[in-house]
């Protein structure tokens, strides 16, 4: 009695259902021939679309489940599917990055065109004072003025609040602490200083 190759056994323990594993063992024990390359290629397309070996056997009655599982193992379909998905994701990521760059360039060009068109009109109005030179571009309400100011703040980065700098100070300032009251009669030096102060203030 022949046994399945080690390569087949190792993979069936990980990625296949019990029915698929059993079908593979029967297929290998009976020494049934493998599927033709054209059939394997067609089934691999179904595998890429999310079909399991068991589902493909139900949809294709002419092919035995064990033979499909064998084609999956020997063709390393799971690894090839992972590589295929990785390639697609890489292409999508590259495409998204390309579109982002193109969008930035398009927006920059659009703004440059608007600046050129309306900038000329604004400069003409600043000289002539004629509203016709504005070509419809004007601030005629407090709301429009506010929006223009907010746009300017955003464009210049002034809309982001800046952190307030604080100066660390000691909780107790030694200079602000009152001197202790001295009880008892003053010394000669203290009495002389007090008299001197009174004479200066008189």
pLDDT in tens, 189-200: 665 666 566 555
Does 51 share its domain with 114? Answer: no
Higher pLDDT: 128 or 54? It is 54
**What's the confidence (pLDDT) of residue 190?**
65
DSSP 8-state secondary structure symbol assigned to residue 185: -
- Examine residue 174 and state whether it is found in any structural domain, yes or no: no
Share of the chain above pLDDT 90, in %: 19
- Examine residue 164 and state whether it is found in any structural domain, yes or no: no
Among candidate residues 55, 75, 95, the one where a domain is terminated: 75
Taking the CA of residue 50 as centre, how many other CA atoms within 13 Å lie in the half-sphere pointing to its CB? Answer: 0
- Examine residue 200 and state whether it is found in any structural domain, yes or no: no
At residue 93, φ and ψ (nearest 5 deg) are -60, -45
Higher pLDDT: 143 or 77? It is 77
Does 61 share its domain with 112? Answer: no
Among candidate residues 31, 54, 75, the one where a domain is terminated: 75
Host domain of residue 57: 6-75
Structural domains counted in the chain: 2
Q: Which position has the token pair 């079909």?
A: 51
- Examine residue 116 and state whether it is found in any structural domain, yes or no: yes
Higher pLDDT: 81 or 169? It is 81
Tens-place pLDDT, residues 79-102: 888 888 888 888 888 888 898 888
Does 91 share its domain with 118? Answer: yes
Does 109 share its domain with 47? Answer: no
* Separation between Cα atoms, residue 124 and residue 130, nearest integer Å: 8
Q: Report whether pLDDT(5) > 60.
A: no
- pLDDT band of residue 154 (cuts 50, 70, 90) is confident
Does 25 share its domain with 53? Answer: yes
- Examine residue 128 and state whether it is found in any structural domain, yes or no: yes
pTM: 0.45
* Separation between Cα atoms, residue 73 and residue 79, nearest integer Å: 10
- pLDDT band of residue 65 (cuts 50, 70, 90) is very high
Among candidate residues 46, 75, 104, the one where a domain is terminated: 75
Does 68 share its domain with 91? Answer: no
Does 27 share its domain with 71? Answer: yes
Angle formed by the axes of helices 65-74 and 18-29, to 10°? 90
User: Chain-wide mean pLDDT for the chain?
Assistant: 77
Does 87 share its domain with 139? Answer: yes
* Residues 36 and 67: beta-carbon distance below 8 Å: no
- Examine residue 173 and state whether it is found in any structural domain, yes or no: no
- Examine residue 199 and state whether it is found in any structural domain, yes or no: no
- Examine residue 71 and state whether it is found in any structural domain, yes or no: yes
Does 43 share its domain with 87? Answer: no
Dihedral angle computed from the Cα positions of residues 6, 7, 9 and 13, in that order, rounded to the nearest 10 degrees? 140
* Separation between Cα atoms, residue 139 and residue 150, nearest integer Å: 13
**What's the confidence (pLDDT) of residue 126?**
82
């Amino acid at each position: 009695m022949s046994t399945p190759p080690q390569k087949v056994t190792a993979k069936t323990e990980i990625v296949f259902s019990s029915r698929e594993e059993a079908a593979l063992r029967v297929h290998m024990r009976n020494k049934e021939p493998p599927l033709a390359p054209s059939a394997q290629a067609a089934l691999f397309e179904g595998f890429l679309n999310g079909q399991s070996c068991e589902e493909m056997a139900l949809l294709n009655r002419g092919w035995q489940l064990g033979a499909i599982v064998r084609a999956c193992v020997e063709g390393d379909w799971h690894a090839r599917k992972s590589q295929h998905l990785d390639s697609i994701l890489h292409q999508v990521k590259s495409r998204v990055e390309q579109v982002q760059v193109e969008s930035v360039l398009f927006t920059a060009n659009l703004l440059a065109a608007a600046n050129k068109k309306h900038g000329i009109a604004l400069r003409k109005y600043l000289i002539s004072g004629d509203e016709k030179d504005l070509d419809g571009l004007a601030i005629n309400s407090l709301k429009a003025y506010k929006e223009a100011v907010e746009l300017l703040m955003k464009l210049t980065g002034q809309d982001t609040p800046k952190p307030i700098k604080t100066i660390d100070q000691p909780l107790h300032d030694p200079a602000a602490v009152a001197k202790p009251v001295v009880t008892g009669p003053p010394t000669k030096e203290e009495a002389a200083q007090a008299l001197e102060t009174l004479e200066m203030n008189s």
